[in-house]
Amino acid sequence: MASLFEADIASLKGVGPKRAELFRKLGAPTVGDLLRLYPRAYEDWRDAVPIRNTLLNEVNIVKGTVLRRPVEQRMRGGSMGFGAKVETKKERTLGELLEQVHPADLVQFGLIPEFVGRIPVLTHVDDLGEDDLVRILTEPKNALTRQYQKLFELDNVTLRFTSDALRAIAHRAIERKTGARGLRNVMESVMLDIMYQLPSMPGVKECVINDAVIEKKAPPLYIYDTEAHIAS
């Protein structure tokens, strides 16, 4: 039986002849090559320039310091003296502040009124929580868990993630503070070695990923046709 990494890229669901040819031009004719495909370029945003040196119609990296937060100041009120409203200082989250943004706050922040007047609706998005990331892992048609399950099917192995494992993946992605993009990094760091070892383990029928695999780098539970054991 051919190794999973040696399978032709066209064997993946959703990869037609045109997309397969594109992957081959990028140097990824097999599934293994695709897993090792790194970005061809990147943008270096480390070197900031003073605002006075920025160039027109070009991407400029600038660095600044927030001296005040207009929304938080307005919500607390700015009065002083006997008529002032006394409140204990509460550190509000960014989402709570953005929820209260008014057009006047944008003008005070520095945007010109002519531009602000052309924005009909102001809205914001909250940080993704653990439950949100678990749904992203499992619910979409091309969810990450389904992609890996399809890859395991090429070796006739059923891949299963426990609910604790999914939450552990989401928790680690939150720690990296990269949103849903962090899910792929966590998954790849866990699954790459497992996918490499699997072709050399004949008789495996099912592979179960639990929270110990994610948090402690423990081996997964391999279920064979006649018995189940934890690989050493």
Number of domains within the chain: 3
Q: Which pLDDT tens digit goes with each residue over 75-114?
A: 665 554 445 454 555 566 767 777 788 888 888 877 888 8
Confidence of residue 232 (pLDDT cuts 50, 70, 90): very low
CATH code, domain carrying 215: 1.10.8.60
The residue-averaged pLDDT of 142-155 equals 90
Q: Do 173 and 198 fall into the same domain?
A: yes
User: Which pLDDT score, from 0 to 100, does residue 89 have?
Assistant: 53
End-of-domain residue from the set 109, 126, 143? 126
Q: What is the pTM of this model?
A: 0.55
Q: Is residue 180 part of a domain?
A: yes
Q: Is residue 207 part of a domain?
A: yes
User: Which pLDDT score, from 0 to 100, does residue 118 have?
Assistant: 84
Is pLDDT of 13 > 90?
A: no
End-of-domain residue from the set 126, 149, 182? 126
Q: Do 188 and 168 fall into the same domain?
A: yes
Q: Is residue 226 part of a domain?
A: yes
Q: Do 106 and 133 fall into the same domain?
A: no
Q: Is residue 59 part of a domain?
A: no
Q: In terms of residue numbers, what domain contains 25?
A: 1-37
**3-state SS track over the chain:** CCCHHHCEHHHCCCCCHHHHHHHHHCCCCEHHHHHCCCCCCCCCCCCCCCHHHCCCCCCCCCCCCCCCCHHHHHHHCCCCCCCCCCCCCCCCCHHHHHCCCCHHHHHHHCCCHHHHCCCCCCCCCCCCCHHHHHHHHHCCCCCHHHHHHHHHHCCCCEEEECHHHHHHHHHHHHHHCCCCHHHHHHHHHHHHHHHHHHHHCCCEEEEEECHHHHHCCCCCEEEECCCEEECC
Q: Do 188 and 134 fall into the same domain?
A: yes
Is pLDDT of 176 > 50?
A: yes
Is pLDDT of 228 > 60?
A: no
The residue-averaged pLDDT of 53-76 equals 70
Q: Do 110 and 151 fall into the same domain?
A: no
Q: Do 20 and 112 fall into the same domain?
A: no
The residue-averaged pLDDT of 140-163 equals 91
Is pLDDT of 223 > 60?
A: yes
Higher pLDDT, 132 or 48: 132
Q: Do 192 and 117 fall into the same domain?
A: no
